[in-house]
Amino acid sequence: MSSNKIVFLEQSKMPTHYYNVLADVPVPMDPPLHPGTKQPAGPQDLAAIFPMDLILQEVSQERFIEIPDEVRDLYRLSRPTPLIRAAILENKLDTPAKIYFKYEGANPTGSHKTNTSYAQAYYNKKAGIKRLVTETGAGQWGSALAMACKHFGMECEIFMVKVSYNQKPYRRTFMKLFGASVHASPTTITNAGRNVLAKDPDSPGSLGIAISEAIEMAVQRDDTNYSLGSVLNHVLLHQTIIGEEARLQMEMVNEYPDIVIGCVGGGSNFGGIAYPFLRDKLTGTKKNLEVIAVEPASCPTLTKGKYEYDFGDEAGMTPLLKMYTLGHDFIPPKIHAGGLRYHGAAPSISLLYNIGAIKASAYEQTEVFRAAQLFAETEGIVPAPESAHAIKEAIAQALRCKESGEAKTILFNLSGHGFLDLGSYEMYLDNQLENYTGQPEFTDAAVR
């Protein structure tokens, strides 16, 4: 039996620039619209909640954007991250495919989210901001921002989706450990939260609701900005350090992926791993590259949503974004991949899906956890439930290679570990997880 190969990149070779996929997309992205006038939103419309440096990154058409030295210094706490060949899993599947994964869980917060939390905190601190307010689903993003704010001496307030607040208590403990205040959303301290609770006192919450509460809180003070963990261009931009590292590491073992896979809620870790490789497809050098976004069958934004303008939050406070959406008032079922319970997908991902540059698939909760268990048994890492969606697709692709005899190279992003999700795994082992098949229009897994 062959053993796993771990590919380390020297810190001296860590990328110095982020990659902006919008420079290479062949059609322009539709602009965000002002929520009141419905006219294209300009930089000044975003200045109430974002620093100008991030606004300029949001609209930039530059192919590469330099990473500030201060941010690179923080990245060195855990970057570059390892690229690992899952040889034991390959043997278990008896597949001719080669499976590689980029492991983003070996940092203090356990996920990829620090790639943007450090950058966002840095730019806000530079602009004189003293307090950041945000939302979080399963808590990975909230944990990352809490740690970044502590480093830069800023206050941090977090609205955590209530179902995850209850499912994942140690995530909220982590955030509080770094000085953040954490609320179970929907709350009674904002108009947005009170309106939701008036309609449904037992609301499990959603990322859309938590975003509404966070923005409402952020605009009340001049020294406060809103910070977002996914969806917007500047967030996915910061995550591309993942794929830029992976390109160098694949070159070190003389490999290039035939298939690149990432899970998708808002889309930050998917963009992080996929965009630097999509550069080759979009510019014509790797036309046959297959890129797959994987989502929950109970929240199938890409596979079942509509491509149209919609609000990024439940209350309609954000600019309208052109994206695949299930509707900003959609409340996803109480799945345990809380970071994927979002009604929309990043506008850049949505555009790439719409023009056929990427594909999408969706899977039920229990089959995702089965894939996670197999991965833990073979590779020794307990994956976050969100990341396990990418594992499920990688296994499916490897088994197709077994049937066809093709020796494809598969790369997926293991965006975080699941050590703080063991309560969810306990429910899985006790056969207590549901698949939410009561929504027949959302239950079929399909790549299109």
Share of the chain above pLDDT 90, in %: 83
What does the pLDDT look like over 235-283, one tens digit per residue? 999 999 999 999 999 999 999 999 999 999 999 999 999 999 999 999 9
Q: Dig out the tokens for 99 from the structure.
A: 């499976």
Residue 440 has pLDDT above 60, yes or no: no
In order of 102, 241, 349, 358, the CA distances from 257 in angstroms are: 12, 17, 19, 14
State yes or no: pLDDT of 439 exceeds 60.
Answer: no
Q: How does pLDDT run across 24-37, given as a tens digit for each residue?
A: 999 999 999 999 89
Structure token digits, residue 233: 């261009």
Question: What three-state secondary structure class fits 164?
Answer: helix
- pLDDT computed for residue 446 by the predictor: 40
Q: Please give the Cα distance from 309 to 438 (Å, whole number).
A: 27
Tell me what pLDDT residue 448 has. 40
Determine the pLDDT at residue 414.
98
Those residues with Cβ within 8 angstroms of residue 240's Cβ, 6 or more apart along the chain or in another chain: 18, 19, 20, 21, 271, 272, 275, 276
The whole-number pLDDT of residue 345 equals 96
Q: Rounded mean pLDDT of 296-304?
A: 94
> Are 267 and 350 spatial neighbours (Cβ–Cβ below 8 Å)?
no
Alpha-carbon separation of residue 123 from 146, 245, 383, 428 (angstroms): 15, 23, 31, 41
Residues in the chain: 448
The pair of three-digit structure tokens given for residue 346, joined into one six-digit string: 């990043």
Percent of the chain with pLDDT over 70: 97
- The answer on pLDDT for 396 being more than 70 is yes
Side-chain-facing half-sphere of 345: CA atoms under 13 Å: 32
Whether the upstream peptide bond of residue 35 has omega within 30° of 0, thus cis, is no
5-13+72-110+234-442 sits in which CATH class? alpha beta
Give the list of residues 6+ apart from residue 433 with CB closer than 8 angstroms, or none: 336, 365, 366, 369, 424, 427
Look up residue 344 and give its DSSP letter: B
pLDDT at position 128:
97
Q: What's the pLDDT at 433?
A: 87
Q: Report the pLDDT value the prediction gives residue 3, as an integer from 0 to 100.
A: 62
Decide: 263 and 341 in contact? Cβ < 8 Å: no
- Crossing angle for the helix pair 268-282 and 347-354, nearest 10 degrees? 40
Identify the pLDDT of residue 441.
Answer: 55
How does pLDDT run across 133-146, given as a tens digit for each residue? 999 988 899 999 99
Locate 280 and state its tokens. Answer: 């080759």
Mean pLDDT of the region 178-195: 96
Confidence check: pLDDT of 124 > 70: yes
State the Cα–Cα distance between residues 167 and 355, nearest whole angstrom. Answer: 37
Give pLDDT, residue 334.
76
Question: What is the residue-averaged pLDDT of the chain?
Answer: 93
> In the chain, where are the structural domains located?
5-13+72-110+234-442
pLDDT band at 354 (very low <50, low <70, confident <90, very high): very high
- Tell me the average pLDDT across 15-29: 97
How do residues 43-82 score in pLDDT, each as one tens digit? 888 888 999 999 999 999 999 999 999 999 999 999 999 9
- Spatial neighbors of 395 by CB under 8 A, at least 6 apart, are 89, 93, 371, 374
Q: Please compute the mean of the pLDDT values over residues 106-132 and round it to a whole number.
A: 96
204-239 tens-digit pLDDT: 998 889 999 999 999 999 999 999 999 999 999 999
pTM confidence score:
0.94
User: What confidence tier does 315 reach under pLDDT thresholds 50, 70, 90?
Assistant: confident
